[in-house]
Amino acid sequence: MAKKKDAEKASHGNENNKSAKNEGNEDDEPNFSDPEGYTDPISDEELLGDLLKQKPHETDGVESVIVVDGVPQVGPDRLEKLSVVINKIFSKFGPIVSEYYPKNENGHTKGYIFLEYGKPQHALEAVKLANNYKIDKQHTFVVNLFTDFKKYEDIPGDWEPPQPQPYKELGNLHYYLLDPDAYDQFCIINAANSTVQIWLNSAPEPTIVEERQRWSETYVSWSPLGSYLATFHKKGVALWGGPGFGQIMRFSHNGVQFIDFSPCEKYLVTFSPQADDLPGDQKKLIIWDIRTGLEKRTFVADGLNVWPIFRWSHDDQYFARIGTDMLSVYGTPSFGLLDKKSIKIPGIRDFSWSPTDNVLAYWVAEDKDVPARVTLLEIPSRNETRAKNLFNVADCKMHWQKSGDYLCVNVNRYSKIIRKEKNELKYSGMYYNFEIFHMREKQIPVDSVEIKEPIHAFAWEPVGSKFAIIHGDGPNISVSFYGVKTGHTPSLLKRFEKKACNSLFWSPAGQFIVLAGLRNLGGTLEFVDTNDFVVMHSTEHFAASDVEWDPTGRYVVTAVSYWKTKVDTGYWIWSFQGKILKRASVETFCKLLWRPRPKSLLPAKQVGEIKKNLKKYSAQFESKDRLRMSKASKELIEKRAKLLEDFVEYKAKRVEQWKSQKGRRLELRNNIDTDELDSDTKNVEEEVVEFFIKEEITVLE
């Protein structure tokens, strides 16, 4: 069979050859065409690779063309003026080769134009920098590359859902709360080599947990609940957490200088003031999702901005920013404008969120015969729950009590009118009011406290209903404490006269307060118990620039920052009663930040019972402290004994070595014995050196 097939193939080939010869005879030209259905095994890329690289593409010549939408629609008489404006804006990205203004049948422009640059790079730069450019109040440019039409046409019609990402375990971000002794952590920033240290405030001495050089290039910040440590870098922000402080997330934002966490740590706001000066398409204000690291929305930050630009509601559901005669409230997770429109409030100056409810407080300045006004606004309903008119107002500052029970509006007022010029009133003299809003009472009553003297500081008691005010002129500085009760006007509880202080620092647990004279007052400190208003201790930390309470209210840190002065930098740790526990002198010390703790899960009733029976629990903690101190003393004695033992052993080895080298020494010294061998005890000379280690003074009462 195989032979038969081969014979048939050969005869068929002969017939083809004969027909080819006959055709050659007829046309005198060879036929090189491929038979029907023939496939060439060699591709064009293999044969013509160099030439195919130069093959023209459909997009050639249009990569340098941009489409500008949002252009004003004008008639023929204004076209030349429009062209001049367009060229002035877009020629700074590169020379414009040609321009085309589409027109309708009436000769009016259609609102979009085509511009061609000499190079594609110029067109790309125009798209990045001119997009969303406002030419006037009604027109904003939308700029795209002409090639984007093709790109969007090729988008497939069938949508494929993204593949689910594997779950990434972040570890226990609140592991430090499980410490059996409830020790808190604090972070120290040192300017030397940009060193950042994490310490555990253990007894009797703090112990270091983590230390890294160049961990951050400028500053660090804890998140509100203490889950993350944020570090700043030229290219963005990094978050660290867990037992080993591993990197949790990175957020790329060149030149970032300011960040702000939302209260529940769901979102992070980053701000780069120099974004306009950096190359490329830089964004000034970005909101990120902390868990996923995704960019949720960007905003334009125009004009003067006070950080934080956005202020968050207590539950992360809303955030708001102030504008010219308007307040813009946004919702999450859509990040869209609430009800798709801003709240128009002519003359708005400032606003603040309640720390426990979705209630906004804002104030509006006076306008001719219209008085200033403080308004409480519910979100998202936008219902005004309370408003208070104020007259002769120069400025207002709003202070919320931590539990949201009270709002204090510090009002600076002009005392009298001296003249009226061109419908404007001229004032003279100042006095001060504190308008107290009782947020939990029916119809939100408002009480007023008036003080004639200048106000230097105001602070609510975090847990309680007292507030403190520093007021007065020159050396006659006073500190007044007021109490607020339901159904009663605020009453003066205590006034301290002639105090050298300018700052108030309440304990996070309430009751205790530090009156501090920082900066030019030399670092004076007074620890006060506000239950009976007893000054527990008066002292001084010279040149102190910072005071920081730990989150439990057990310890206070006073510090001298290298950012404020270059000498005597370091920090001191005090008990809440004003007893010094540790003095740490650290060169180039910059800042100490206590790690925050989340809100306690214990109900208020149970917390009250613990405070009531505190003496019952204190005995076991005191015995534990004594045991810890004795253990520390025992460890110190054992350590010193071990050092002495090691020294004696080392000394014996060196003496034996010295004796074994006796012959070599005699050889080098021409057999002259210089070792003074009167007795074996004089082989080695001993020198006793004494130096001062430390001094402890115990006062026996």
Which helix (H) or strand (E) segment holds residue 622: the answer is helix 614-660
Which helix (H) or strand (E) segment holds residue 599: the answer is none
**Given this model, what pLDDT does residue 278 score?**
54
Integer Cα distance of 516 and 503 in angstroms = 5
**Given this model, what pLDDT does residue 549 score?**
96
pLDDT band at 600 (very low <50, low <70, confident <90, very high): confident
Is 65-152 a domain of CATH 3.10.110.10?
Answer: no
Q: Is the pLDDT score of 578 beyond 90? A: yes
pLDDT band at 60 (very low <50, low <70, confident <90, very high): low
Which comes out higher in pLDDT, residue 654 or 429? 654
Integer Cα distance of 390 and 411 in angstroms = 9
pLDDT band at 1 (very low <50, low <70, confident <90, very high): very low
pLDDT band at 460 (very low <50, low <70, confident <90, very high): very high
pLDDT tens per residue, range 159-207 = 888 888 788 787 889 999 998 888 999 999 999 888 999 999 988 889 9
Q: Is the pLDDT score of 49 beyond 80? A: no
> Quick check: 527 and 516 in contact, CB under 8 A?
no
Helices (H) and strands (E) in the chain — how many of each? 9, 40
Tell how far CA 651 is from the center of its chain.
56
Integer Cα distance of 408 and 446 in angstroms = 9
**Given this model, what pLDDT does residue 9 score?**
45
Return the percent helix, strand and coil in the chain, to nearest 5: 20, 35, 45
**Given this model, what pLDDT does residue 29 score?**
67
Which comes out higher in pLDDT, residue 52 or 644? 644
Quote the mean pLDDT of the chain.
85
Integer Cα distance of 236 and 307 in angstroms = 18
48-57, 365-374, 379-388, range with the lowest pLDDT: 48-57
Q: Is the pLDDT score of 108 beyond 80? A: yes
Closest by Cα among 123, 121, 75, 78 to 99: 123
* Secondary structure class of 636 (helix, strand, coil): helix
Q: If 0-12 CB within 10 Å is exposed, 13-18 middle and 19+ buried, where does residue 158 land?
A: exposed
> Quick check: 272 and 321 in contact, CB under 8 A?
no
**Given this model, what pLDDT does residue 7 score?**
45
Tell how far CA 700 is from the center of its chain.
49
Q: Is the pLDDT score of 551 beyond 70? A: yes
pLDDT band at 651 (very low <50, low <70, confident <90, very high): very high
pLDDT band at 56 (very low <50, low <70, confident <90, very high): low
Strands (E), 275-358: 285-289, 295-299, 311-312, 318-323, 326-331, 343-344, 348-353
pLDDT tens per residue, range 215-247 = 999 999 999 999 999 999 989 999 999 998 999
Give whichever of 421-430, 503-512, 618-627 has the largest mean pLDDT.
503-512
Closest by Cα among 418, 408, 359, 417 to 388: 408
Tell how far CA 19 is from the center of its chain.
87
pLDDT band at 686 (very low <50, low <70, confident <90, very high): low
- Token pair of 33, please? 């065409």
Token pair 């009167």 is found at: 678
Give the right CATH number for 456-587 from 3.40.50.2300, 2.40.128.20, 1.20.1530.20, 2.130.10.10: 2.130.10.10
Rg (alpha carbons) of the chain, rounded to whole number: 40
> Quick check: 575 and 527 in contact, CB under 8 A?
no
Percent of the chain at pLDDT > 70 equals: 87
- Token pair of 401, please? 């009590």
Those residues whose C-beta lies under 8 Å from the C-beta of residue 282, and which sit 6 or more positions away, are 254, 255, 272, 275, 276
pLDDT tens per residue, range 318-368 = 999 998 899 999 999 999 999 888 999 999 999 999 999 999 999 999 887
> Quick check: 390 and 372 in contact, CB under 8 A?
yes
> Quick check: 493 and 482 in contact, CB under 8 A?
yes
**Given this model, what pLDDT does residue 417 score?**
61
Those residues whose C-beta lies under 8 Å from the C-beta of residue 584, and which sit 6 or more positions away, are 570, 571, 572, 573
**Given this model, what pLDDT does residue 637 score?**
75
**Given this model, what pLDDT does residue 435 score?**
95
Integer Cα distance of 296 and 319 in angstroms = 13
**Given this model, what pLDDT does residue 299 score?**
87
Sheet of strand 229-233: strand arrangement = 220-222, 229-233, 236-241, 246-252
Integer Cα distance of 256 and 275 in angstroms = 8
pLDDT tens per residue, range 533-542 = 999 999 999 9
Strands (E), 497-622: 503-506, 512-517, 524-529, 534-540, 546-549, 555-560, 570-575, 580-585, 589-594
Torsion angle, alpha carbons of 526, 530, 531, 534, to 10: 30
Tell how far CA 259 is from the center of its chain.
3
Q: Is the pLDDT score of 672 beyond 50? A: yes
Cis check: omega of the bond before 206, within 30 degrees of 0: no
Those residues whose C-beta lies under 8 Å from the C-beta of residue 521, and which sit 6 or more positions away, are 500, 501, 502
> Quick check: 414 and 392 in contact, CB under 8 A?
yes
Q: Beta strand pairing status for 267-271 and 236-241?
A: unpaired
Integer Cα distance of 19 and 12 in angstroms = 11
Integer CA distances (angstroms), 635 to 196, 252, 639, 643, 655, in order = 29, 48, 6, 12, 30
Q: Is the pLDDT score of 602 beyond 80? A: yes
Integer Cα distance of 572 and 559 in angstroms = 6
Q: Is the pLDDT score of 148 beyond 50? A: yes
Token pair 């050639």 is found at: 60
**Given this model, what pLDDT does residue 54 score?**
66
Integer Cα distance of 499 and 511 in angstroms = 19
**Given this model, what pLDDT does residue 5 score?**
45
> Quick check: 662 and 675 in contact, CB under 8 A?
yes
pLDDT band at 422 (very low <50, low <70, confident <90, very high): low
383-387, 450-454, 544-548, range with the lowest pLDDT: 450-454
Work out whether the CA dihedral 84, 90, 91, 95 comes out positive or negative: negative
Integer Cα distance of 637 and 647 in angstroms = 15
Angle at 191 between CA 187 and CA 193, to 5 degrees: 100
Mean pLDDT of 14-41: 59
**Given this model, what pLDDT does residue 431 score?**
87
Integer Cα distance of 270 and 255 in angstroms = 10
Q: Tell me the residue type at 556.
A: V
pLDDT tens per residue, range 271-318 = 988 765 555 456 789 999 999 899 999 887 766 568 899 999 999 999
Instruction: For residue 236, list its beta bridge partners.
Output: 233, 252
Work out whether the CA dihedral 338, 340, 346, 349 comes out positive or negative: positive
456-587 has the same fold as 65-152: no
Mean pLDDT of 608-613: 84
pLDDT tens per residue, range 206-222 = 999 999 999 999 999 99
Could you state, in order of their start, the residue ranges of all structural domains in the chain?
65-152, 171-306+590-623, 456-587
Q: Is the pLDDT score of 118 beyond 80? A: yes
Q: Is the pLDDT score of 2 beyond 50? A: no
Percent of the chain at pLDDT > 90 equals: 52
Integer Cα distance of 289 and 576 in angstroms = 38
pLDDT band at 482 (very low <50, low <70, confident <90, very high): very high
Q: Is the pLDDT score of 67 beyond 90? A: yes
Which comes out higher in pLDDT, residue 24 or 423? 423
pLDDT tens per residue, range 491-511 = 999 999 999 999 999 999 999
Q: Tell me the residue type at 484.
A: V
**Given this model, what pLDDT does residue 424 score?**
58
Integer CA distances (angstroms), 269 to 226, 229, 233, 691, 697, in order = 17, 15, 15, 55, 51
What length does the chain have? 701
